[in-house]
Amino acid sequence: MCGIIGYTGEENVKDVLLDSLDLLEYRGYDSAGIAVEGHEGPHVIKCAGRVSDLRVICESEKFFTEQAEGCGIGHTRWATHGGVSDANAHPHCVGEVTLVHNGIIENFRELAAHYDLGEQLKSETDSEVVAALLNHYYDGNPHDAIKKTVSKLKGTFALVVLFADRPGVIYSTRNVSPVVATVCEEGAMLASDLTALCRFTNRYFVVPEYHILELHRDRVMLFDLEGNEKKPEFLSADWELNSAGKNGYPFYMEKEIMEQPKAIERTIECRVAGGMPDFTREGVPDSLFTDCERVTIVACGTAMHSGLVAQALVKSILHMHIDVEMASEFMYSDPVLDEKTLVIAISQSGETIDTLEAVKYARLRGAKCLSILNVKGSSIARESDYVLFTNAGPEIAVASTKAYTTQLAVLYLIVAKMAHCRDVFTTEETQSFIRELQRTPEAVEKVLAERRDIHLLANNVLDAKDLFMIGRGLDYSILQEGSLKLKEVSYIHSEAYASGELKHGPIALITQNTPVIASVTQEKLMSKEMSNIREVRARGADIVLFIKKSLAGSVNEDYRTFLLPDMQDAFMVMPASAALQLLAYYVSSDKGFDVDKPRNLAKVVTVE
């Protein structure tokens, strides 16, 4: 999962590349580099570390003080083959070829041996082998060299290439790993995703797999591998220009948490007509929901956690069979799939390879696939029968927040649609469900308005090493996501447990002052949840209680508490989740961590 950028045009190419890498750094951030064309060939600067470290080096480079407009490529890395080092950073130069790559070449060792490339290699990476192979085949014809090279590669790749004797032109080709491109008055650009393009324009196209893109200063040209020119299919991102900036917040995560009320509202309101859920704009037929006999949700991480909430609702309202599968396990678990199975894939990026492969696997077995995605033109969008897009806008922080709550918004709409289509809900009941859903932005807004209280609660867990989150039913689903948030940005070992399960082993881990976060939002489960809370408190646990306001009055003991705004039980997930997102955010930021780029993580996982 790396960030790649290419630019050719009138702007200061170093600045465009470095600023773009800043925006793409969430995709991987252990090393970075740029190559800019100069009179004596590409000038390459690269280093282990962040883009900010690279920028310091570039600022002192005489080459860049003289170099302004031009052509160049850049890369920010999440290490796969080869450790974090200057040598393993991209770009890689071999002979006439300078290259950056996102993906994994599975047969790079065999290729290095077969073509005896070892002498030319200065790194441990698969990417440098590709550069050497391109150079091996290059005899002045870029398309021919690219075609021969990709025919030998096994694996995933987005390649961006400069040929020394082709100044001003950038070449690119891909398989699975994403590349989007555009041309505008500032020049021509390509990148791993839209966040780097939407500073200049929201018009873009997805580079089709196994095609060759040429970026020229004033035009882009697309060819298939047989040399036939193709017309790019331009799309328009519904993102405002510069919406990928921090807008004054210290971290993207805080900005994106705070954007949730509007993002949820945008996602709901464009799909409600006459008080009823309406998917006609996206061409999703009611038959998709009436003809299926079972539902399977496939996703990873936070996206999977939104699926857990949908599972609870589908079972309790529709009394239908529904599975939630970790996409990485899905293909190896012999899932029951047929033409009566509705597969719902959930993914913010639309590029998570585990989820992408699960969608392909399911469709091959006759299942229909509806995807819930946040990025138009993404790989999963292209593999799905139907897509419902969340209107979250660009989500840059590695920790997913507004994508999660807007995924939930779409899932609640789907549940309402299914309940009405299958005559479980009357029209009035459906409209009542939708009205409560339309209250969620306001409920989340109330939580955000009291974020100072959450910040104070965060201080109680700052020094925790291990932490438990306990709840039942939907509270347990809420906490599974809350636990992942805390884990991934604060590095505290947090685990969510169904509180009724504690007695069957995990309670052995509770000792004096063990921090326990409890969620109590489901009235029918409250009595048992409070019993479980008392059990751990009796063993010394230090409790922080997130409880629905109307339930708090019947709690007799004294706990550190955050009162959640009242909604019907089934709708408490979003306000409760927003509170737990803030908790994780404040713990991480108060510990001095780079909240947006947690260690070892990347925003988009495009390796299996």
**Residues of the shown chain interacting with ligand AGP in the complex, contacts defined by CB under 6 A:** 300-303, 347-349, 352, 355, 398-400, 488, 604-605
Identify which of 214, 92, 115, 209 has the alpha carbon closest to the alpha carbon of residue 156: 209
| Bridging pattern class, strands 272-273 and 493-498 | unpaired
Q: Is 2 a catalytic residue?
A: yes
Query: Out of 2, 58, 292, 369, which one is annotated catalytic?
Result: 2
Q: At its nearest, how many Å lie between ligand AGP and the CB of residue 104?
A: 16
| Bridging pattern class, strands 542-548 and 515-520 | parallel
Q: What residues are paired with 44 via a beta bridge?
A: 35
Q: At its nearest, how many Å lie between ligand AGP and the CB of residue 604?
A: 6
Q: At its nearest, how many Å lie between ligand AGP and the CB of residue 603?
A: 7
SS3 513: coil
Identify which of 141, 150, 145 has the alpha carbon closest to the alpha carbon of residue 177: 150
Q: At its nearest, how many Å lie between ligand AGP and the CB of residue 13?
A: 30
Cβ closer to ligand AGP: 125 or 400? 400
Gap between the Cα atoms of 99 and 43, Å rounded: 12
Nearby residues of 470 by Cβ (< 8 Å), 6 or more positions away:
479, 496, 497, 498, 499, 502, 516, 517, 518, 519, 529, 532, 533, 536
Cβ closer to ligand AGP: 161 or 387? 387
Q: At its nearest, how many Å lie between ligand AGP and the CB of residue 349?
A: 3
Cβ closer to ligand AGP: 134 or 605? 605
Cβ closer to ligand AGP: 125 or 401? 401
Cβ closer to ligand AGP: 404 or 571? 404
Query: Out of 14, 255, 487, 603, which one is annotated catalytic?
Result: 603
87's tokens: 């040598």
Cβ closer to ligand AGP: 99 or 408? 408
Q: Is 597 a catalytic residue?
A: no
Gap between the Cα atoms of 505 and 526, Å rounded: 22
Cβ closer to ligand AGP: 277 or 301? 301
C-alpha angle 38-43-44 in degrees, rounded to nearest 5: 160
Task: Please spell the DSSP secondary structure of 205-241, one letter per residue.
Answer: EEPPTTEEEEEETTEEEEEETTS-EE----EE--S-T
Alpha-carbon torsion angle 591, 595, 599, 603, nearest 10: 160
What one-letter code names the amino acid at 466?
D
Nearby residues of 579 by Cβ (< 8 Å), 6 or more positions away:
447, 454, 546, 562, 564
User: Of all residues in this chain, which one has the CB nearest to ligand AGP in the complex?
Assistant: 301
Cβ closer to ligand AGP: 201 or 352? 352
Q: Are 46 and 3 in contact (CB under 8 A)?
A: no
- 354 burial level (CB within 10 Å; 0-12, 13-18, 19+): buried
Q: At its nearest, how many Å lie between ligand AGP and the CB of residue 477?
A: 15
Q: Are 81 and 120 in contact (CB under 8 A)?
A: no
Q: At its nearest, how many Å lie between ligand AGP and the CB of residue 446?
A: 23
Q: At its nearest, how many Å lie between ligand AGP and the CB of residue 403?
A: 6
Q: Are 198 and 239 in contact (CB under 8 A)?
A: yes
By annotation, the residues acting in catalysis are 2, 603
